[in-house]
């Protein structure tokens, strides 16, 4: 499900569920969070997917039915841990990074992307609301207008569009993306740890100061969190998932 190995000074974490296009379950999120504690003496982290896709998002079984809300703590806790990790993180994106897969990639510091990959968050097609922290990271990377395209219009970006929007750090040929991402991570691992890790902390602190309303208006964030939970409990989410499985247009009711 989650593989961890070390390549020199790089901790390589692999989403290894190719038969499900590396879709995320609560157990998979928990295993990934645990792997982040096992990086040892590594100086950089490379996150990649096995098979033909980086990550297709959440497993339908994880979000369908009354227990769908139980997926959120594992998913959001793992992303928060990844984003706050002291080491620099690089995502190697191939095939697709969709939904939770793109949120996973944007929780990393850098994204090396195959030139034929697709990126998007089809939340509005399903009736899902992405939580505050993940939207904040998306806005910081791509800006308000692009974030609205991705989330509200459920637009899928090509790799070149994602690079232009600021979502992608570097493009590589599909056959070279794993090598390019590994080289990027190795370059980071070869730099001065205090410089890399200290710079990461300061840049993230500046970004949080510019954009985070948690300290000044925690009640606002609590209200936004309720929007996420309400969406996961909604009939519309069940309709969106059913329509996708049945390959038909959804009929949303707004509840």
- What would the pLDDT profile of 214-238 be if each residue is shown by its tens digit? 655 667 777 878 888 888 788 888 8
pLDDT at 210: 76
Report how far Cα 123 is from the mean position of its chain's Cα atoms. 13
Say how far apart CA 34 and CA 255 lie, in whole Å: 36
pLDDT at 203: 94
pTM: 0.89
- Nearest Cα neighbor of 183 from 5, 2, 7, 4 is 7
Q: 44-64: per-residue pLDDT in tens?
A: 999 999 999 999 999 977 666
DSSP bridge partners of 2: 15
What would the mean pLDDT of 57-72 be, rounded to a whole number? 74
Secondary structure (H, E, C), 56-112: CCECHHHHCCHHHHHHHHHHHHHHHHHHCCCCCEEEEECCEEECHHHHHHHCCCEEE
What would the mean pLDDT of 107-114 be, rounded to a whole number? 98
Say how far apart CA 118 and CA 134 lie, in whole Å: 19
Asked if residue 125 has pLDDT above 60, the reply is yes
What strands lie across the sheet with 110-114, from one edge to the other? 2-7, 10-15, 44-49, 89-93, 110-114, 170-172
Phi, psi of 44 (to 5 degrees): -160, 160
Domains of the chain in sequence order: 2-195 (3.90.226.10)
Report how far Cα 191 is from the mean position of its chain's Cα atoms. 25
What would the mean pLDDT of 160-168 be, rounded to a whole number? 97
């Amino acid at each position: 499900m989650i593989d961890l190995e070390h390549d020199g000074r790089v901790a390589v974490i692999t989403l290894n569920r190719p038969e499900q296009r590396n879709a995320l379950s609560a157990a998979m999120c928990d295993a990934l969070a645990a792997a982040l504690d096992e990086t040892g003496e590594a100086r950089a982290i490379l996150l990649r997917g096995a098979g033909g896709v980086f990550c297709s998002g959440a497993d339908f079984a994880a979000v369908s039915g009354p227990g769908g809300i139980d997926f959120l703590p594992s998913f959001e806790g793992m992303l928060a841990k990844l984003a706050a990790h002291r080491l620099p993180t690089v995502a190697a994106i191939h095939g697709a990074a969709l939904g939770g897969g793109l949120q996973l990639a944007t929780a990393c510091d850098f994204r090396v992307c195959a030139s034929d990959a697709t990126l998007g968050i089809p939340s509005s097609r399903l009736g899902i609301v992405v939580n505050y922290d993940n939207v904040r990271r998306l806005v910081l990377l791509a800006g308000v207008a692009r974030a609205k395209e991705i989330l509200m219009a459920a637009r899928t970006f090509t790799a070149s569009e994602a690079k232009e929007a600021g979502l992608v750090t570097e493009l590589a040929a599909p056959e070279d993306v794993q090598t390019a991402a590994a080289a990027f991570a190795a370059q980071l691992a070869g730099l001065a740890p205090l410089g890399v890790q200290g710079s990461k902390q300061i840049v993230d602190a500046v970004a949080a100061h510019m954009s985070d309303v948690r300290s000044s208006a925690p009640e606002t964030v609590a209200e936004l969190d309720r929007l996420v939970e309400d969406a996961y409990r909604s009939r519309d989410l069940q309709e969106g998932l059913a329509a996708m499985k049945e390959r038909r247009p959804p009929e949303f009711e707004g509840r």
